[in-house]
Amino acid sequence: MSQYTNQQSVNGQIQMKDLITLTDDTNTGQLDSGILNQVIANASGVVDMYCANLYGAQLPFSPVPASVANMALILTCYLLYERREVPFEQNKFASRYKSIISFLEKVNTGDMHLNDVPLRDFPQVVMTGRSTIYGTAASNFPSTSM
């Protein structure tokens, strides 16, 4: 499972007292790093899911590109508030989350790409016929009438 961000980065976006509140399901007053790591992994998985179409062979990204780390960070912060059922309108990461998902949807379709990650060396190809041991299926050849 990939993890494109870390607790230190999340703590740069969310104050520790709030981070404790967002992860402490057992009311110990302590940060639950297990929950935080799971949310980080889930956010990283979202990035991987959308990027798999263009960057599948490169996943998980290593080293982690800055754009991927930033997206995973914001997704993690959003998901931490979401797990506490903070309404979308009140989640301070909601607008950035929405922008990231919109961008990732375009990456998934090939309309956009990550500027700091090289694209595959080969173009995407759509197969229209079924392969046979002789090459392409006979139905792909133009018909000729005599």
Residue pLDDT tens, the chain, 146 long = 679 999 999 999 999 999 999 999 999 999 999 999 999 999 999 999 999 998 988 899 999 999 999 999 999 999 999 999 999 999 999 999 999 999 999 999 989 989 877 765 545 544 455 555 555 554 444 444 44
Token digits of residue 136: 């392409």
Please give the biggest Cα pair distance in the chain.
85
* Claim: this prediction has a pTM higher than 0.85: no
Distance CA 119, CA 137 (A): 30
Residue 137 contacts by C-beta under 8 Å, 6 or more apart in sequence?
129, 130, 131
- Beta-ladder partners of 136: 131
Question: Which has the closest alpha carbon to 64: 126, 125, 117?
Answer: 117
Nearest to 58 by CA among 18, 1, 118: 118
